[in-house]
Structure formats: C-alpha cells, structure tokens
Amino acid sequence: MPGTILSLFQIKFQHMENQRLIRFTLVLFIITILLAGIITAKSILIPLAISVFFSYLFYPVSWKIEKLGIHRAIAILFVILVAILIIGSVALFLSAKLSNMTIDLAELKENFETKADSLKLILENKLGMNAGAMDHYVDRFSNNFFSSWETQLGNLFAATTTTIFQIAILPVFTFFLLFYRTKSAHFIFRVVGRKKREKTLHILREVSTVTTRYLGGLFIVVAILAILNSTGLYIIGVKHALIFGILAALLNLIPYAGTFLGFLIPFSYVLFTVPDPFSTLLKVAVLFIVVQFTENNLLTPNIVGNSIKINPLAIILSLLVANMIWGIAGMLIVVPTLAILKVIMRNIDELKPYAFLISDRGVDKYRVSFKKLWKRKK
C-alpha cells in the first residue's frame, strides 16, 4: 500500500512537471512567433507604434480645443498640422545646415591626416610601433571614409524615399488613434468584462498620465538642451555650433548612448579641424559635463518628473533588444514602452514582481545622488 501511494505521488509529480515544461515551451513558442511577427511587419508596426506616442503627446492639446466646442476631427487636424509645420521646419533647417557642412570635408581630411601623422610619430618613438603598418590602416580609413561621404549621403536620401510611406502614414495613424480613442477604450472594457472595468479604467488613466507627462516633458528638455548646447559651443568658438547643439539634444532622446554620441560628434570635429585643439576640447568636455549635470539634476526631475522610475540595467538591456528588432526607432520608443508595461504590471497581482524587477525600487540605500553627497559633505 505505501508503495502504491508513493508510485501515485511520483506519477502525479511527473505529470505536474510535464505540464510546467509544456507551459514553458508554449510560452517560448508564442514569444518567438511574436518577435518574428514584430520584425517581419516592422514597416507597418514602427509608424503605428510612433503614432501611439504622438497621440498621447497631442491628446491634452486636442482635448482642450474640443472643450471649446470645436468638433473632434477639426481639433485633431489642427494639432497635427501645427506639429507637421514645426517638425518639418526643424527637419528642413537641419538638412540645409548639414548640406552646408560638406564644404569643410577637404579641410577635415587634410587636418585628419596631419593629426594622424603626429600620432604615428608619438607611437613610433614612445612605444616602438611599426609606422608602415599604421600608415596602411590610417590611409585606408581616410580614403574610405571621406571619399564615400557623398555616397553615404546619397544612400541616406535614397533610404528616406523608400520609407516615404512610413513617414506619410504617421499623421494618418495619429489622427485615427485620437479620433477613435473613446471607441478603443470601450473595446478594452468589453474584452476585460465588467468585473475588471474599474481596474482597467484606472490603468488606462495612469498610462495616459505617465506617458503624456513623460513625452511632453522630454520634448521641453530637448528644446532647452538644444539652446544650452548651441549657446555653449558658440561661445567656445566651435564651427556649426547650432547644428551640433541641436543634434546633441535630439540624440539625448536615446538614453545613455545618445548622450555620449551627442558629445562625441563635436568633440571629434574639433579634434580634426582645430590646429591646436587641446584647450577647445577641454572646454567642450566641460560644457557637456555641466549641461548633462544640469539635465540630470534640475531639468529632468522638475520637468519630466519621476514618472518613469526604471532602473538603468533594464533600460540598457531594453535598448540593446530594441536596436536588434527595430533599430533606432526601437531605441527611441523603448523607454516609454517600458513605462507603460510597468504601469500595467504594477496593477496586476500576478505581474507585480516583474514591475518591481524593472523599477528603481529596492536600491535606495545604495543610490548615488547629488542630495546625498551634499548631506554627507555637510
């Protein structure tokens, strides 16, 4: 009898293990299919995803116009047309400035070769490295990079023409997402049922508040950073200060990597164009350190607020995955997407541990901040 009970227990345990294995395999299969679908249909899903965030960004303005008694369709069209006018003007301005920068290519190549020769002499005299081998790689890099500049620009514009549909469909998607927002909410309520209606409404409102505040604040921060960067680079005496300042501010939309790239571009330009660059490079480095400190401790906390609260490890891993799936577009939208997922998971009991995992909670004791350093100094 005891042996029979033990055998039944082993069979039941084995059955449970098999069920868990089947469930785990099924989840992996579904995730794989979803990833494959997301990558395959990215030409449609990327503008749709960007349009979702644009709709959150435009919603407060559109809603206020609607409250004045203006029809929803007219209010949405007005907001979208104003946004197209602003974004189009900035894009045309940047394109014109970038095209003017090609005038300096010959001088840039000459200065690059001069700096490379100086560096080769230092490496050869101090470290005993073979100058002949370095000549080969430096010349190869210089010729490939500078001779293909025009070709790369041509490819960029060619790629833009192939994605004209994606750009043109953005305002269309945004319009219908805003126009059918009430219908979409009722659809979600019908899917979840009456019992979960109140919780679902709370989640939708929280997602709207977090996303709208984050995106609106982020664009204000970018505008301020563009002014600070451009003004600082102009005072330092860097050519094309305005274009470098705006570019660095736009790259700041990509967490961590964008900030470094925004600094690296003017730094490299100064390094290869200024005859004696050391003092200018030092000023550029100090400028970006001060601006970044201001952004992290004053601008973002007071304008964007603490609506995201996602730990850096989760952001970095998400950036890498998003870049693999959707490239730069994925890197731009991954942080607000994480914020939305965190809000949803935080309001569902079974998913609360995952919300805690990607949040910045649990490390308050070890967090480094300006306030803590100031208190310790006191």
**Tens-digit pLDDT profile for the chain (378 aa)?**
555 555 555 555 566 666 777 777 777 888 888 888 888 888 888 899 999 999 999 999 999 999 999 999 999 999 999 999 998 888 888 777 776 665 455 566 666 666 666 666 655 665 555 555 555 555 555 555 555 554 554 554 445 555 677 788 899 999 999 999 999 999 999 988 888 888 888 888 988 888 888 888 888 899 999 999 999 999 998 888 888 999 899 888 888 788 888 888 888 888 877 777 788 889 999 999 999 888 888 887 777 766 677 888 888 888 888 888 888 888 888 888 988 889 888 888 888 888 888 887 766 665 655 555 555 555
C-beta atoms surrounding 272 within 10 Å = 18
pLDDT of residue 87: 87
- Return the domain boundaries, the chain: 58-165, 203-300, 308-378
Tokens 């050519």 correspond to 239
Helical segments of 237-304, H only:
241-251, 257-273, 278-294
Q: What is the model's pTM?
A: 0.75
Distance in angstroms (rounded) separating the CA atoms of residues 257 and 332: 11
Distances (CA, A) of 163 to 154, 172, 253: 14, 15, 21
Nearest CA among 63, 52, 84 for reference residue 177: 52
pLDDT of residue 187: 92
Backbone angles phi, psi at 224, to 5 degrees: -65, -40
Backbone angles phi, psi at 310, to 5 degrees: -115, 140
Helical segments of the chain, H only:
2-40, 42-67, 72-101, 105-127, 131-147, 149-162, 164-179, 181-192, 197-236, 241-251, 257-273, 278-294, 312-326, 328-346, 352-358, 370-377
Tokens of 75: 């209010």
pLDDT of residue 143: 56
CA dihedral of 201, 42, 57, 178, whole degrees rounded to 10: -60
C-beta separation of 16 from 23 below 8 A:
no
pLDDT of residue 78: 95
Nearest CA among 115, 101, 78 for reference residue 273: 115
Give 134: exposed, middle or buried? Use CB within 10 Å, 0-12, 13-18, 19+: middle
Distance in angstroms (rounded) separating the CA atoms of residues 324 and 321: 5
